[in-house]
């Protein structure tokens, strides 16, 4: 699937592109509404993520222009939470709306939902993720260890889902914080350690000698998937 990301915040675009490419999407980008229209005509993306406030042409006008020739799913991004802004977005043809700051995993979930609705399928649309004795129900956001339901907080689920999706890849605490807390209030970096400890306590048979949620000393953490 090809996704067009258009926003004049360069760091935000880089963060979204990094996360979506890790999911297997092809990502093209732009920085203003005019580029959104031009890229849609030239590259024919399967989905567009479009910021509202941009130079040259804002996202609302770009959305309306795109709707003149394409029914591609569009997710609007805005720094405002005002209902009127959302209504204007929907009236101009947007399919979904996300207010900054947002969780990158929520954005991914909305992308998958819109692609399904548009008739596209993707391997990442699987509703269950299992490695060893740990299973995640992605739709219900429930976690199971050895078949037993485990009570995870929303952020704990985000962390374990991300690590399982990228099993055997080592992430530093900084990388995990940037990826999973990028669009929320950033706490002390030790919050990553706290979440890892709690996940081990809840999901590992012996938290002191974990089988899955591993530490790469001096580097970071990873979820071990054995062949």
In a domain, 201, yes or no: yes
pLDDT at residue number 135: 96
In a domain, 27, yes or no: yes
Q: What is the mean pLDDT of residues 183-196?
A: 72
The Cα–Cα gap between 198 and 85 comes to: 39
166 versus 122: the higher-pLDDT residue is 166
In a domain, 82, yes or no: yes
In a domain, 34, yes or no: yes
- pLDDT bin (cut points 50, 70, 90) of residue 123 is very low
Question: Is a pLDDT exceeding 70 seen at residue 186?
Answer: no
Question: Is a pLDDT exceeding 60 seen at residue 137?
Answer: yes
> Are residues 91 and 159 located together in one domain of the fold?
no
Residue where one domain finishes, among candidates 117, 143, 167: 117
Question: Is a pLDDT exceeding 90 seen at residue 141?
Answer: no
In a domain, 39, yes or no: yes
In a domain, 75, yes or no: yes
| Number of structural domains in the chain | 2
Question: Is a pLDDT exceeding 50 seen at residue 185?
Answer: no
pLDDT at residue number 187: 54
Question: Is a pLDDT exceeding 70 seen at residue 218?
Answer: yes
> Are residues 100 and 157 located together in one domain of the fold?
no
Question: Is a pLDDT exceeding 60 seen at residue 122?
Answer: no
pLDDT at residue number 124: 47
Domain assignment of residue 38, given as a range: 2-117
CATH number of the domain encompassing residue 45? 3.40.50.2300
Question: Is a pLDDT exceeding 80 seen at residue 181?
Answer: no
> Are residues 11 and 76 located together in one domain of the fold?
yes
- pLDDT bin (cut points 50, 70, 90) of residue 169 is very high
CATH number of the domain encompassing residue 163? 1.10.10.10
> Are residues 156 and 113 located together in one domain of the fold?
no
pLDDT at residue number 82: 62
pLDDT digits (tens, 9 = 90+) for 25-49: 999 999 999 999 999 999 999 999 9
- pLDDT bin (cut points 50, 70, 90) of residue 140 is confident
Question: Is a pLDDT exceeding 70 seen at residue 121?
Answer: no
> Are residues 98 and 12 located together in one domain of the fold?
yes
In a domain, 135, yes or no: no
pLDDT digits (tens, 9 = 90+) for 66-96: 999 998 999 999 887 666 666 777 788 888 8
51 forms bridges with which residues in the sheet? 77
């Amino acid at each position: 699937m090809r996704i067009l990301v258009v926003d004049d915040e360069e760091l935000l675009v880089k963060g979204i592109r990094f996360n979506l490419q890790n999911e297997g999407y092809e990502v093209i980008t732009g920085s203003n509404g005019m580029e959104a229209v031009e890229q849609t005509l030239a590259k024919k993306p399967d989905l567009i993520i479009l910021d509202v406030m941009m130079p040259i042409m804002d996202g609302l006008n770009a959305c309306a222009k795109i709707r003149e020739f394409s029914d591609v799913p569009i997710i609007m991004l805005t720094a405002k939470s005002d209902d009127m802004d959302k209504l204007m977005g929907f009236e101009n043809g947007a399919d979904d709306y996300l207010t900054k700051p947002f969780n990158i995993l929520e954005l991914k979930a909305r992308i998958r939902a819109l692609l399904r609705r548009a008739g596209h399928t993707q391997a990442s649309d699987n509703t269950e993720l299992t490695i060893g004795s740990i299973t995640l129900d992605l739709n219900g956001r429930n976690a199971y260890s050895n078949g037993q339901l485990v009570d995870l907080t929303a952020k704990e689920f985000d962390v374990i889902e991300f690590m399982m999706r990228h099993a055997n890849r080592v992430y530093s605490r900084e990388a995990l914080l940037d990826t999973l807390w990028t669009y929320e209030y950033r706490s002390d970096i030790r919050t990553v350690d706290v979440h890892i400890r709690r996940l081990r306590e809840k999901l590992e048979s012996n938290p002191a000698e974990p089988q899955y949620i591993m530490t790469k000393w001096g580097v970071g953490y990873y979820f071990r998937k054995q062949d």
